[in-house]
């Protein structure tokens, strides 16, 4: 069984920086449990010392729709 908690929001650059900073602080604490805010919910995770990190950047140019850039960061691990 897989539990999925998902949120899609629009943030200012400053709000995004604060969110990512808070997430980084959780990892830096080095505790066994890590609290991640997802929308209006907090999810508790248990990452090990080694975490897989996948970063993907896509740059699209379109005459009709304009330019669009996307960055996806995926962190994964086995407990």
Q: Are 62 and 68 in contact (CB under 8 A)?
A: yes
Q: Residue 37 belongs to what domain range?
A: 13-76
Over the stretch 38-67, which tens digit does the pLDDT of each residue have?
999 999 999 999 999 999 999 998 877 789
Q: Report if residue 3 sits inside a domain.
A: no
Q: Are 71 and 55 in contact (CB under 8 A)?
A: yes
pTM, two decimals, is 0.84
Nearest to 51 by CA among 72, 71, 34, 69: 34
Domain count, the chain: 1
Maximum pairwise Cα distance, the chain: 49
Q: Report if residue 33 sits inside a domain.
A: yes
Q: Report if residue 40 sits inside a domain.
A: yes
Taking residues 19-36, report their average pLDDT: 95
Q: Report if residue 1 sits inside a domain.
A: no
pLDDT above 80: residue 6: yes
């Amino acid at each position: 069984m897989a539990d999925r908690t998902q949120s899609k929001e629009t943030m200012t650059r400053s709000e995004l920086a604060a969110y990512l900073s808070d997430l980084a602080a959780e990892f830096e604490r080095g505790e066994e449990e890590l609290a991640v805010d997802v929308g209006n919910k907090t999810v508790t995770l248990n990452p090990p010392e080694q975490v897989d990190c996948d970063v993907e950047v896509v740059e699209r140019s379109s005459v009709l729709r304009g330019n669009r850039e996307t960055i996806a960061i995926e962190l994964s691990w086995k407990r």
